[in-house]
Amino acid sequence: MTLLGLLWAMAAPLLLLLPWLLVVRVLSAVALPQRLGVGTDRERRVRWAMAAALVLAVVLALWLPPRLRFAHLCDELGPPRIDAVVQADGFFLDDSTANSFGMRYLHEEGFAWIEARSIYRRDAYTRFTWTPGGIQTQEVEALTARYSVVALHEPSADGDVSVHRLQVLERDSGRVLASAANANFLGGPAKWVLGAYGSAHCPNPISAAGSEAFQRNYHLARDTLRPAPRR
C-alpha cells in the first residue's frame, strides 16, 4: 500500500465531516429543530446531533448488509481442516507467487524440493531444491510430484470481498487431503468514508481462535505432507 493509500485508510472517517456540515446547513435552512419545539438555547446542539445521526444512519445502512453477508461467508468457509496425513519431501506448488514467497516452503517448512510453473516457458516447470549452500533451480519438462498445493484467489464481482483458498491434493486422483481459506472485506459501498475501520478479515488474526486458524493455514502443507527431517 502506498503512503497516500495508508493515509486514506486511517483518516477516511474525517470525510464524514463534509456530509455532516451539509446536513447541518440544510437543517438550519429549514429550521427543523425549532419546528420540533426545541428552544433557542439548545437548537444548535440538537441540529448538530440530528445531522450526525442522519449521516451515521446512512453509512450504517450502506455498511451493515454487506458486512453481515461477509460474516455468513466466513461461517461457510469454516476453519482449516486436514483429512489425511502423508509423507512427502516435495510437491507441486500451483501458485502465482511460487517463485518468490513459495521459497518459504524450502527455507522455513523443511521441504527438500518443490516444483512450480516455469516463468520462462508456458509448457515447462522449474524444480527448486534446497541445499545447505542455497536453493538450486532446474528446468524440467514434466512434473514428478505426487502431491500438489494449490492456491486460489477468488475476488467478488465488485472487488469488496476476496477469498484465498489453499488445498493440498493428490495429483493423480484429485483427492483433497487438506483445505483452508481466508477472506477479506473492504467495507462495501461505505469503504470510501470508513477506510480501514470498515474492513474485516476471517479468520481474525487479533483473536486467539483467529490466530490459531492463521497458523494452521500457514503451515497447512507442512502439517499435511510431513516432510522428513533434514540431516
Average pLDDT, the chain: 90
Domain with 10, as residue range(s), is 3-65
Give residue 24's pLDDT.
84
The reply to whether 108 and 18 lie within a common domain is: no
pLDDT one-digit tens code per residue, 12-64: 888 899 998 998 888 777 776 666 666 666 777 777 888 899 999 999 999 99
The reply to whether 105 and 167 lie within a common domain is: yes
Residue 113 lies in a domain: yes
Residue 10 lies in a domain: yes
Residue 150 lies in a domain: yes
Give residue 35's pLDDT.
66
**Interior angle at CA 174, CA 170 and CA 178, nearest 5:** 60
Q: pLDDT over 70 for what percent of the chain?
A: 94
* Lowest-confidence segment of 1-10, 130-139, 198-207 by average pLDDT: 1-10
The yes-or-no verdict on residue 209 having pLDDT over 90 is: no
Give residue 181's pLDDT.
95
The reply to whether 19 and 114 lie within a common domain is: no
The reply to whether 52 and 164 lie within a common domain is: no
Give residue 131's pLDDT.
93
Give residue 142's pLDDT.
92
Confidence of residue 66 (pLDDT cuts 50, 70, 90): very high
Q: What is the mean pLDDT of residues 143-171?
A: 93
Give residue 38's pLDDT.
65
Q: What is the mean pLDDT of residues 174-197?
A: 94
Query: How is the chain classified by DSSP, letter by letter?
Result: --HHHHHHHHHGGGGGHHHHHHHHHHHHHHTHHHHTT--HHHHHHHHHHHHHHHHHHHHHHHHHHHHHHHHHHHHHH-S-EE------SEEEEE-TTTTTGGGHHHHTS--SEEEEE-SS-TT-EEEEEEETTEEEEEEESS---SEEEEEEEEE-TTSSEEEEEEEEEETTT--EEEEEEEEEE--GGGHHHHGGGG-EEES-TTSHHHHHHHHHHHTHHHHHH-PPPP-
* Lowest-confidence segment of 35-49, 66-80, 152-166, 187-201 by average pLDDT: 35-49
The reply to whether 135 and 109 lie within a common domain is: yes
Q: How many domains does the chain have?
A: 2
The pTM assigned to this predicted structure is 0.81
Q: What is the mean pLDDT of residues 183-206?
A: 91
Give residue 12's pLDDT.
85
